[in-house]
Amino acid sequence: MTFNQPVLAAGSASVRDAGGALIASAETSIAGNTVVVTLAAIAGSQRVTVAVNGVSGANGSINPQVSLGLLVGDAGNSRAVTAADIAAIKASLGLPVNSVLRARHDLNADGEITAADVSAARARSGVALP
């Protein structure tokens, strides 16, 4: 989460599912105007809300939250895993994971784009965010 002024403090973070149930806590750290929230492993194919308690700056404190969809294999960010995602991952086979785009192709997060990533995308073909 990036703000328009330096962040002086940030409290703990929580992750809730679409129904509002707490599903995880998360660590926060500060880097200039940004609060970095590091999420633990969370089941995919769902929408979650990440909230941070007590983000403070020179003008006071707020409790920001963001909603995001988690869908492993949706390399193109279309909110569904399609043939285009599988083709994009196949096109990245063997290439270095050196960008956000390529990180989206490394589905098993082992630092390489391999046939295992293509297989993982194929296994999720047709899955869409609710």
Query: Which residues would be at the binding site for Ca ion (CB under 5 A)?
Result: 106, 108, 110, 112, 117
In angstroms, give the least distance from the CB of 13 to Ca ion: 27
In angstroms, give the least distance from the CB of 116 to Ca ion: 6
Of the two residues 54 and 111, which places its CB atom closer to Ca ion in the complex? 111
Of the two residues 21 and 100, which places its CB atom closer to Ca ion in the complex? 100
Of the two residues 35 and 107, which places its CB atom closer to Ca ion in the complex? 107
Alpha-carbon Rg for the chain in angstroms: 17
- Cα separation, 9 vs 60, whole angstroms: 10
| Maximum distance among all Cα pairs of the chain, rounded to whole angstroms | 50
CB neighbour list of residue 93: distance below 8 Å, 6 or more residues apart: 113, 114, 115, 118
In angstroms, give the least distance from the CB of 20 to Ca ion: 33
